[in-house]
C-alpha cells in the first residue's frame, strides 16, 4: 500500500519554503518529488535592469547565509572585466570575511542538524559560540548578515588591530567546539550513532550528478576551488582539503567539522600576516566581453557569468549556486531510506533554497 507524505513549504522544521512529496511503502521511501521556487525573487532579471553598483548590493541579498560569497564573486567578475588588480590588503580582508562566513555557516549547519536530531544541549552551546562570532563580524562590518564590505576595486572597511585579539580568542573557542563535534560524530557516541550509514551517496554517483562542495568531498572526490582555482591569494595559506570516502550523513557532517579547523588555520594565518596597502583602487574602464568568476562558497562552487556590452548596465547575468548542483543528489540519498530519516538527510546536504530560487 503506497501513501504520499508531504513536507509543505510551511513545514516548520525547515527555515525555508520548499516542497517534498514522498511515496512511501512499508515506511520506506520509494519515490521523491521535489519542488522549488517558493523563494523566487527574480534577482537575475533585476540585475540586468540596474547599474553594476546597485547589482553588487543585490547580489549580496541573494542569500542571507553566504551573502559575502555572492558579493565577492560578483565583484571579482567585474574586476576581471575591468582588468583591475586589487591590493594585497583588500585580498586578505576579503579572505578573512569569506572564511568567517564559512565558519558561521558551518556552525549554523550543525545547529540545524542538532535540531533535526533533538540534541538540545549541543545546540545551545553551538548557538552561543556562533553568536559571539556574529557579533565580531558585526564589529568589523557593521551588520551581522549583509556585510556590505565589498566594492569594485577593493573593500570599504578595514580590520582594526583592536578586534584582532577578540577574533583569535573566539577562534580558539571554535577550535575546541569543532574538536568536540568530531568526537560526538564518532560512531560510538550518540550523534555519530544516529547518523551512521544513512543517506549514502557513492563516489560514482556524486561525480555523475555534479555534486559540489563538502558533499562531494564527503563522497571521496578531491576538489576544492580554494586550492584549484587560485583566486584572491589562497596560495599564500597552508590548509588541508578534507576528503572522506564514505558518503553518508555522518561523513558529510564530519567533513564540515574538520573543515572548521582548517578554516580557523587560514584566518589565524591571514590575521598574522595582514599586509599594508590601500583598501581600494580605482577600477579601470569597462570592456565588452564575457567573464566567469568562480569561488568556493560554504556550500560549494559558486559561479557568476557576466556579459557586458560596455554600458553601465550588464547585458546578461547568470548565477550558478551550489545548492542547485547538490539538490538532485538528494533523490538518490532519499530513495530506500526510512521516512523518519528524511528530515535529517535533507538537512545533511546543507540546502540553501534562497540561493537556488534567487
Partner 1 sequence: MKVYIINTGSCNGCDIELIAAALDKITDDPKEADILVITGGVNRKMRKKLLNICEQFEGKIVAVGSCAISGGVFKDSYSTNQGIDDIVPVDFYIPGCPPSPKIISSFLEGRDCENIENFRGIPKIDKFKCTGCGACSLGCPSSAIKIKDVDYIRQIIINYGDCIYCGECEYNCHDNAINLSNKPCNASLEKDNLINITQIKLSPCRLCGSYFIPTRQLDQLFEKIDDEEIRYYLGICHKCRSNIDRIKRAKEILSE
Residues at the contact surface with partner 1, assessed by CB under 8 A:
8-10, 12-13, 15-17, 37-43, 45-46, 49-50, 53-54, 57-58, 61-65, 67, 108, 111, 127, 130-131, 134, 138-139, 142-146, 148, 151, 156, 352, 354, 357
CB 179 within 8 A of CB 261: yes
Q: Which is nearer to partner 1, 94 or 130 (CB)?
A: 130
Shortest spacing between CB 11 and partner 1, in angstroms:
8
Cell numbers given for 48: 540586468
Shortest spacing between CB 189 and partner 1, in angstroms:
24
Q: Which is nearer to partner 1, 39 or 335 (CB)?
A: 39
SS3 readout for 146-198: CCCCEECCEECCCCCCCCHHHHHHHHHHHHHHHHHHHHHCCCCCHHHHHHCCC
Shortest spacing between CB 236 and partner 1, in angstroms:
29
Helix, strand, coil % in the chain, rounded to nearest 5? 50, 15, 35
Q: Which is nearer to partner 1, 36 or 254 (CB)?
A: 36
Q: Which is nearer to partner 1, 38 or 196 (CB)?
A: 38
Q: Which is nearer to partner 1, 39 or 182 (CB)?
A: 39
Shortest spacing between CB 204 and partner 1, in angstroms:
32
Shortest spacing between CB 134 and partner 1, in angstroms:
7
Distance of CA 263 to the CA centre of its chain: 13
Helix, strand or coil for residue 111? helix
Q: Which is nearer to partner 1, 10 or 272 (CB)?
A: 10
Distance of CA 317 to the CA centre of its chain: 20
Strand partners, 308: 289
Shortest spacing between CB 93 and partner 1, in angstroms:
16
Strand partners, 2: 25
Q: Which is nearer to partner 1, 50 or 331 (CB)?
A: 50
Shortest spacing between CB 313 and partner 1, in angstroms:
14
Shortest spacing between CB 303 and partner 1, in angstroms:
19
User: Cell numbers 518529488 label which residue?
Assistant: 33
Q: E strands, 26-61, where?
A: 28-35
Shortest spacing between CB 90 and partner 1, in angstroms:
16
CA–CA separation, 110 and 113 (whole Å): 5
User: How many residues in total does the chain contain?
Assistant: 358
Backbone phi, psi, residue 120, to 5° = -80, -25
Q: Which is nearer to partner 1, 100 or 206 (CB)?
A: 100
User: Cell numbers 563516489 label which residue?
Assistant: 203
Q: Which residues contact 227 (CB under 8 A, 6 or more apart)?
A: 234, 239, 241
Q: Which is nearer to partner 1, 4 or 124 (CB)?
A: 124
Q: What is the DSSP letter of 357?
A: H
CA–CA separation, 219 and 356 (whole Å): 22
User: Cell numbers 577550535 label which residue?
Assistant: 175
Amino acid at each position: 500500500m503506497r501513501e504520499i507524505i508531504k513536507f509543505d513549504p510551511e513545514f516548520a522544521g525547515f527555515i525555508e519554503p520548499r516542497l517534498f512529496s514522498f511515496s512511501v511503502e512499508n515506511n520506506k521511501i520509494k519515490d521523491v518529488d521535489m519542488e522549488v521556487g517558493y523563494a523566487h525573487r527574480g534577482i537575475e532579471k533585476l540585475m540586468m535592469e540596474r547599474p553594476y553598483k546597485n547589482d553588487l548590493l543585490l547580489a549580496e541579498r541573494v542569500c542571507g547565509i553566504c551573502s559575502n560569497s555572492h558579493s565577492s564573486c560578483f565583484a571579482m567578475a567585474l574586476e576581471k572585466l575591468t582588468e583591475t588588480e586589487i591590493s594585497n590588503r583588500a585580498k586578505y580582508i576579503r579572505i578573512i570575511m569569506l572564511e568567517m562566513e564559512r565558519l558561521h555557516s558551518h556552525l549554523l549547519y550543525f545547529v540545524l542538524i542538532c535540531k533535526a536530531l533533538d540534541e538540545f544541549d549541543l545546540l545551545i552551546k553551538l548557538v552561543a559560540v556562533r553568536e559571539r562570532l556574529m557579533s565580531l563580524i558585526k564589529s568589523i562590518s557593521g551588520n551581522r548578515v549583509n556585510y556590505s564590505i565589498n566594492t569594485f576595486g577593493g573593500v570599504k572597511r578595514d580590520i582594526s588591530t583592536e578586534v584582532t585579539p577578540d577574533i583569535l580568542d573566539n577562534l580558539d573557542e571554535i577550535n575546541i567546539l569543532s574538536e568536540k563535534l568530531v568526537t560526538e560524530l564518532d560512531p560510538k557516541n550518540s550523534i555519530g550513532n544516529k547518523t551512521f550509514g544513512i543517506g549514502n551517496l557513492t563516489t560514482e554517483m556524486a561525480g555523475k550528478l555534479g555534486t559540489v562542495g563538502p558533499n562531494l568531498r564527503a563522497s571521496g572526490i578531491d576538489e576544492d576551488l580554494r586550492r584549484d582555482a587560485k583566486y584572491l591569494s589562497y596560495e599564500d595559506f597552508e590548509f588541508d582539503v578534507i576528503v572522506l570516502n564514505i558518503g553518508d550523513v555522518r561523513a558529510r557532517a564530519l567533513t564540515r567539522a574538520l573543515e572548521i579547523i582548517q578554516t580557523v588555520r587560514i584566518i589565524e594565518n591571514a590575521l598574522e600576516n595582514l599586509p599594508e596597502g590601500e583598501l581600494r583602487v580605482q577600477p579601470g574602464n569597462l570592456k565588452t566581453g564575457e567573464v566567469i568568476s568562480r569561488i568556493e562558497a560554504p556550500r560549494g562552487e559558486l559561479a557568476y557569468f557576466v556579459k557586458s556590452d560596455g554600458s553601465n548596465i550588464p547585458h546578461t547575468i547568470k548565477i550558478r549556486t551550489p545548492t542547485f548542483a547538490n539538490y538532485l543528489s538528494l533523490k538518490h540519498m532519499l530513495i530506500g531510506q526510512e521516512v523518519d530519516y528524511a528530515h535529517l538527510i535533507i538537512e545533511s546536504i546543507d540546502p540553501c533554497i534562497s540561493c537556488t530560487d534567487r
